[in-house]
A and B are shown apart, each in its own frame.
Chain A
Amino acid sequence: MRAEESVVTATATAALAIALAGSFLLLWSALGHVRAFDLLRATIVKHDVVPYRRHRQIALALVVAELTIGGLVTASWLVSGAPLVLGLAGQAVLYTIFCGYAALVLRSKRSVACGCFGGESITWVIPVRAAAVAAATTVAAVAVPPGASSAAVAALALGAALVLRYLPRIVRTPEGTHAT
């Protein structure tokens, strides 16, 4: 294997692992949102980005999108030979929307919770994380590496999911949490 090919394969593998981590996070987040749907509604209202009258439908659409895309990417990866590209494309779009939405909330300078997983506040980490996952998912979609379902990718994806999940806590400022 030539050096350039190795670099390309390693990059594509890392991108796929981060993309898979993104899909795990979508499912993780969706479970929390289903369990506390009213808290999700309250958080969306506090963000004050979407019209109040539409907040319930938007919360519902978010949960459906998380479950559908997270489930599609994870299932496509688990089932050998299934096309990953469709799910990855959807995931890249979804994370790009998350990035833009978080940036809008940040611009309002309101001290509010992210609503992603727990009570962490919206900080610059949130849109950066979403942008990173969107970029990695796009790379993975255009260059899915051979042997995509390997154990190494699974281990890497799980590790990346944990790091991405707790990233706002790892780099948080003292006021980086928000109760309700």
Chain B
Amino acid sequence: MNPTDAALVLAWIVLVLLAFACAGILRQVRLVQAEVAELRQANRHLGPTAREFPEQLLPTGGAELTMALLVSPGCTVCEEVTPVFTREAKPAREGVDFAVVTWADGDQPRDVGHARWVDDGAAYRFLDPGWTPAVLTLDATGKVLAAEPAGSVAAVESLVGHAANRQPRQVGRGR
């Protein structure tokens, strides 16, 4: 094969690859359009609430901290770790109030042991770090002290154990 032929073959290969890439990009655009539509739908479920602090996230029963497990509908890993969180949420862990926060939109409240089941779009939106499941720690003023990924059993066990020994910092409300 002479160099001209080789260049021609390469040029055709590039053309074919670019055609594949274009097909992929078009598919991506369609996917983005579908996801935007889904997000719009989800936002309607979450409700029109502003970024004001949802009071139900504050620790109850004299606790100093709220430890919230943030889970979203359709998240299979969330289904795996929620029982671990509720198992670890024992009343013996004094000073920590446990809550499972979601926006299940009409689902029946779940039995989450000693934790509270908070099905509230505004609370979910306030805490949402951009991924689920997540464990968030809030102090008595409502400040988010930590937001950590909780996508495994080991993660949830470690985070809940750590929170039980954590002292809240006295700072202003807000994130």
Residues of A within 8 A of B (CB): 1, 3, 6, 9-10, 13-14, 36, 38-39, 41-48, 51-53, 55, 110-112, 152, 155-156, 159-160, 162-163, 165-167, 169-170, 177, 179-180
Of A13, A39, A110, the residue contacting B130 (CB under 8 A) is A39
Q: Which residues of the partner chain B approach A165 to less than 8 Å between Cβ atoms?
A: 24
Which 3 A-B pairs give the minimum distances between C-beta atoms?
A166-B24, A46-B151, A159-B17
20 CB < 8 A contacts A-B: A1-B3, A10-B9, A36-B130, A45-B152, A46-B149, A46-B151, A48-B151, A55-B149, A110-B76, A152-B10, A156-B17, A163-B24, A166-B24, A166-B28, A169-B28, A169-B31, A170-B23, A170-B27, A177-B35, A179-B75
A-facing residues in B4-43 (Cβ within 8 Å):
6-7, 9-11, 13-14, 17-18, 20-21, 23-25, 27-28, 31, 35
- 7 more CB-based (< 8 A) A-B contacts, given A44-B149, A111-B76, A112-B151: A45-B152, A48-B151, A112-B77, A152-B7, A160-B17, A162-B17, A166-B25
Least Cβ–Cβ distance between A122 and chain B, in angstroms: 12
Contact yes or no, A39 B131, CB < 8 A = yes
Q: How far is the CB of B99 from chain A (nearest CB, A)?
A: 20
The answer on a CB contact under 8 Å between A155 and B14 is yes
Are A169 and B151 interface neighbours, CB within 8 A? no
Listed in ascending order, the chain B residues whose CB lies under 8 Å from chain A are 1-3, 6-7, 9-11, 13-14, 17-18, 20-21, 23-25, 27-28, 31, 35, 72, 74-77, 129-132, 134, 147, 149-155, 158
Contact A162 B18 (CB under 8 A): yes
Tell me the nearest residue of chain B to A111, going by C-beta: B76
Residues of B within 8 A of A159 (CB): 13-14, 17-18, 21
Selected contact of A163 from candidates B20, B35, B74, B150, CB within 8 Å: B20
By the criterion CB–CB under 8 Å, are B149 and A42 in contact?
A: yes
Is A3 touching B1 in the complex (CB atoms < 8 A)?
yes
Q: Are A180 and B131 in contact (CB under 8 A)?
A: yes
> What is the CB-to-nearest-CB distance from B14 to chain A, in angstroms, rounded to a whole number?
5
Bound Cα distance A166, B23 (Å): 9
Q: Is the CB of B131 within 8 A of A156?
A: no
Contacts of A160 in B (CB 8 A): 17
- Cα–Cα, bound, A16→B20 (Å): 20
Which residues of B are found within 8 Å of A53, using beta-carbon distances?
A: 158
Across the interface, which residues of A come within 8 angstroms of B28, CB to CB?
Answer: 166, 169
B20 touches A45 (CB 8 A): no
Contact B152 A52 (CB under 8 A): yes
